[in-house]
Amino acid sequence: MKKILVLGGAHIDRRGMIETETVQGASNPGSWMEEAGGGGFNAARNLSRLGFQVRLIAPRGGDGNGATVAAAARDAGVEDTPFTFLDRSTPSYTAILERDGNLVIAIADMDLYKLFTPRRLKVRAVREAIKTTDIILCDANLPEDTLSAIGMAARACEKRLAAIAISPAKVVRMKPALAEIDMLFMNEAEARALTGQTVTDVRQWPTLLREAGLRGGVITSGAKRVVAFDHNGTAVLTPPLIEDVKDVTGAGDAMASGYLSAIASGKPITEALRHGAAAAAITVQSSFATASELNAETLAAALALVPQAEMV
């Protein structure tokens, strides 16, 4: 069984959905949802359900929210080994959404991640985890110098390094480590933040990102075409149309999970793109950021609906 070490965000996601036309400065009827989340954490749960041995290392507070995250990791079969700060609160992301799903406002309370400093990588248990894993996955919730240190550690141990961009504001933290990253999962807004460029065709992104120093990656555009690249070339895929979309939260993390699961199994990027699209399709039909029904069997079934990717 392949081992994957995840270093990144594991926190509480809260989403409030307004049920009527939004009225600013007033009380609006709606519904509330709370679950454990975070880019790295979502991917960790997905990968565990897909049959990988996953270990998660992330900062956490000594509060009830920390216990919620721990329980969600346990339920998904993830080996959870956090840095716990008993006097701190577990990070959280709170969003208010309009009835069509558009964001009204959000608050990200993520200061605890600053305590995941490069020296944490020198802890013996972490060093051993890096040495014994097959693939490392990190996300841009971590500080810039820590991401650089993870890149150097991965290269020193000759481990493949994957990363999740998280947001346009956070992905720029990965700039110093781009040359060490084998696969960076991002959307077009995050690709623009990295390169300072805009494209008219998604197939242009690999050239710009390679010029920025990135080894390989995947760039999504919502329901539009997705492009992937590595040292062998560039692949493009048009995802299948999903009519019963319940919540797109976690779709990018699912794409990363499906793609990475295929790469870990030795498949080329064309097949990896199909696996990523299939995992994302399963996830957007769930009300949660990760779909509990995602596993190797449901992924294989969903692949039947995903078209072939093309090398360009």
pLDDT at 247: 66
pTM, entire model = 0.93
pLDDT at 261: 96
pLDDT at 292: 86
At 254, give phi and psi (nearest 5°): -70, -40
With b for 16 or more beta-carbon neighbours within 10 A and e for fewer, the 273-305 pattern comes to bbbbbbbbbbbbbbebbbbeebeeebbeebbee
pLDDT at 143: 97
Q: Do 280 and 239 touch, CB atoms closer than 8 A?
A: yes
Tokens representing 153 are 């550690």
The one-letter code for the residue type at 91 is P
Return the DSSP state at 201.
Answer: S
pLDDT at 86: 94
pLDDT at 245: 73
Cβ neighbours of residue 195 closer than 8 Å, sequence gap 6 or more: 205, 208, 209, 211, 212
Cα gap 82→61, rounded to integer Å:
9
Question: Per-residue confidence of the chain (312 residues) as pLDDT tens digits?
Answer: 899 999 999 999 998 989 999 998 899 999 998 999 999 999 999 999 999 999 999 999 999 999 999 999 999 999 999 999 999 999 998 988 888 767 788 888 999 999 999 999 999 999 999 999 999 999 999 999 999 999 999 999 999 999 999 999 999 999 999 999 999 999 999 999 999 999 999 999 999 999 999 999 999 987 789 999 999 899 999 988 777 777 667 788 999 999 999 999 999 999 999 999 999 989 887 777 787 899 999 999 999 989 998 988
CB half-sphere exposure, 16, CA atoms < 13 A: 15
CB half-sphere exposure, 104, CA atoms < 13 A: 18
CB half-sphere exposure, 98, CA atoms < 13 A: 8
pLDDT at 285: 77
pLDDT at 301: 93
Distances, alpha carbon 191 to alpha carbons 233, 248, 255, 277, 306, in Å? 18, 19, 16, 19, 24
Q: Do 93 and 49 touch, CB atoms closer than 8 A?
A: no
Tokens representing 251 are 């779709």
Cβ neighbours of residue 246 closer than 8 Å, sequence gap 6 or more: 284, 285, 286, 287
Return the DSSP state at 116.
Answer: -
Q: Do 41 and 11 touch, CB atoms closer than 8 A?
A: yes
Other CB atoms within a 10 A radius of the CB of residue 75 amount to: 12
